Each structure stands twice: as C-alpha cells, then as structure tokens.
C-alpha cells in the first residue's frame, strides 16, 4: 500500500464527484479504475474528462456490482446525502477506505454505525470538509485551543447564499427530502456546523430551531439557538435567499473575541488592539489528505468520521426541534 498506486472508484459523478475525479487524475500515486453513477450519460461525461485514460475505466450503474467486480483500494462517494451511510458501509465491508462528501450521514444512528464499522474494519473514513485543510481555519482552532480568548461564552454563526433555485421542487435532488435529508441547513449548513464545532472544540447540549421552507419541501431559512456543554450559548443562521454571499463566525470568550468574516480573521484580546491573523502554509485538499492517511503518513484524516457524527447530532436535534416547537437535547 505504501509503494503501489492506489486503485480508486468514484461513486457519483456529478458536481463534486467530478472535482474529486479530476484531482485524483492529476496524481501519480492514484489510478481511477471504476466509476459508478445511476445515470449512464453522467458516466460517459465523467469518463470523457479522463481523456485516453478513461478508455480503461470500467463504469457501473450499481454500486454492489462495482464492489463485487472490481479490485479497489478506496472509493470516493459523492452521491445524494441520504445514500452516503449505506454506501460507506458497503465499501467498508468490502475492505475499502472511504472519502465521502458531506454530510457523512443524515442521522446520528447511521453516523454511529459508520464509526463502529470503520473501527472494526480498521479502514479510513474521511469527510470532504475542505475547511479542515485551510490554514486559516486551522489557525483559528489553534487560537481557541490555546486559550487566547479565554473560555468561550458565545458563538454567532451566519451563512448567507443566493441558491434558492437548487431547492425548488423538481430542480435537483437537493429539493427532494428523500434524497437530500434536508435543505440548505443539511447542505451548506453541514460545512458551517462542522466549523463551528471544530474551531470551538465544544459540543452542543441542546438546540431550539426555527425553520422556513417558503413553499419548498425542504428548509431554506434556518435559525438556531444553541446551548453548549460548557454552558456557552450560540446562534446559527442560514439563508439561501440572500443576494450576497457571506460567511461569518464569531467566538466570544472571557478574554477576547475571534472573528472570521468571509475568509478574513481578526483577533482582539481585552486591553489590546485588534490584529489580523493569517494561517501558515498551503491548503491541503481532501483527496491529498485522504491518500496521505491511507499510506500511513498520519494517524487520522483532517476531517475524520467523528466530525460527521457531531454534525449529524446537531442537525437531527435541530430538525426535531423545528417539528416539536421546543428545545431538544443533542444526543
């Protein structure tokens, strides 16, 4: 495994599937040997991206057949959200490492099953949360962990996008809750929930949620009030109705505040002037990190399966709260 070229299958050859496929194709230590998608035309388009190398790539419309008929070391999964957990489990049971698009699972039960199976099989499960490989977010996590802002007492988070079209009925699989597991909060919100938890190092204890669908079948505007396990409180807001893109995190502690606004980071400690903070080094993409981990270059991937469980837990509690109208525990 350390020396030979790793054999990959890519499951789901749509948007992010093609991104991962192209990144794999540029590497000398990886070979794409199989593609799987329910759409035959999508498979041909994906194979065409590989040029002459695509002539030797096998294509499948059923994952079970690909796993049974192809010698593989790892798979990349970029299918609709509700399909992830079952496909991860099938790949693990075939003895394969897995890189999966977010969210890893749409329920905490499925996420726990993935963690247990990965441990039993001794295989790597990594999530394509690209912010984990971003030097800026890595620096933010270090600042908080070092106690530079003291104990966190308040977190505020906002993600605003102009992407309602993706959630209108019939426009894409994201608009179908049976495939997506939820709307904007489950989709982009997965990234933001993950960063909120990863940077802060906190775990949510309870969530009170208000969700609007605006005539769709899934959430397109979400507001959460969160109580964390250390007693801190937080707010999370997500909208797909914004004419602008905005991403903001603020971590308020007993000794200072760390603000991340549209990729820029500012630290202010009590009694001191605010300073701009930057990360060091280059971004490590999910595919690169995944391969490094498989080859034994590190103990675990930068976005391990545990992050997928944490996001599934808070997402599940939020959706339940929106239904019951009361605060729900995160478990």
CATH number at residue 227: 3.30.360.10
In a domain, 288, yes or no: no
Dihedral, CA of residue 207, residue 327, residue 321 and residue 260, to nearest 10: -20
What is the pLDDT confidence band of residue 262, given thresholds at 50, 70 and 90? confident
What is the pLDDT confidence band of residue 178, given thresholds at 50, 70 and 90? very high
Residue with tokens 């789901």: 12
Cross-strand bridge partners of residue 9: 34, 75
pLDDT tens per residue across span 79-111: 999 999 999 999 999 999 999 999 999 999 999
CA atoms within 13 A on the CB side of 102: 29
Same domain, 93 and 186: no
CA distance 267 to 249: 12
Note the pLDDT of residue 329.
Answer: 98
Expressed as residue numbers, the domain containing 71 is 6-130
Residue with tokens 């949510």: 204
Percent of the residues in the chain that have a pLDDT greater than 90, as a whole number? 94
Same domain, 143 and 126: no
Count of domains in the chain? 2
Contact between residue 12 and residue 82 where contact means Cβ atoms under 8 Å apart: no
For residues 222-250, give the mean pLDDT: 97
CA distance 123 to 103: 19
Picking from 79, 109, 130, the residue at the C-terminal end of a domain is 130
For residues 20-31, give the mean pLDDT: 95
Note the pLDDT of residue 1.
Answer: 55
At 228, list the tokens.
Answer: 């964390």
Sheet containing strand 152-162, edge to edge, reads 275-277, 264-269, 256-261, 241-253, 152-162, 233-239, 221-228, 204-212, 328-329
Picking from 74, 105, 130, the residue at the C-terminal end of a domain is 130
Summary mean pLDDT of the chain: 96
Q: What secondary structure letter does DSSP report for 175?
A: G
Note the pLDDT of residue 331.
Answer: 87
pLDDT exceeds cutoff 60 at 181: yes
């Amino acid at each position: 495994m350390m020396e030979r070229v790793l054999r990959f299958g890519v499951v789901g050859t749509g948007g992010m599937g093609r991104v991962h496929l192209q990144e794999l194709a540029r590497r000398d230590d990886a070979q794409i040997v199989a593609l799987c998608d329910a759409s035959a035309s999508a498979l041909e388009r994906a194979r065409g991206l590989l040029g002459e190398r695509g002539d030797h790539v096998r294509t499948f419309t059923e994952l079970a057949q690909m796993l049974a008929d192809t010698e593989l070391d790892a798979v990349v999964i970029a299918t609709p959200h509700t399909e992830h957990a079952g496909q991860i489990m099938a790949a693990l049971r075939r003895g394969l490492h897995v890189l999966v698009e977010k969210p890893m699972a749409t329920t905490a039960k499925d996420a726990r099953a993935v963690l247990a199976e990965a441990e039993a099989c001794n295989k790597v499960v990594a999530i394509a949360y690209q912010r984990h490989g971003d030097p800026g977010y890595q620096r933010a996590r270090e600042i908080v962990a070092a106690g530079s802002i003291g104990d966190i007492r308040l977190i505020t988070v906002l993600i605003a996008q102009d992407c309602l079209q993706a959630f209108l009925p019939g426009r894409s699989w994201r608009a179908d809750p049976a495939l997506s597991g939820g709307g904007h909060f489950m989709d982009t919100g997965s990234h933001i929930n993950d960063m909120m938890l990863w940077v802060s190092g906190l775990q949510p204890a309870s969530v009170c949620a208000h969700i609007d669908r605006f005539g769709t079948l899934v959430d397109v505007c979400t507001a959460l009030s969160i109580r964390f396990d250390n007693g801190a409180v937080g707010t999370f807001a997500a909208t797909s109705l914004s004419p602008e893109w905005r991403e903001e995190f603020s971590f308020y502690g007993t000794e200072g505040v760390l603000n991340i606004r549209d990729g820029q980071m500012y630290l202010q400690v009590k009694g001191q002037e605010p300073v701009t903070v930057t990360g060091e080094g280059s971004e490590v993409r999910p595919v690169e990190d995944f391969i490094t981990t498989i080859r034994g270059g590190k103990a675990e991937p930068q976005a391990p399966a545990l992050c997928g469980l944490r996001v599934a837990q808070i997402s599940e509690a939020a959706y339940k709260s929106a239904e019951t109208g009361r605060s729900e525990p995160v478990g």
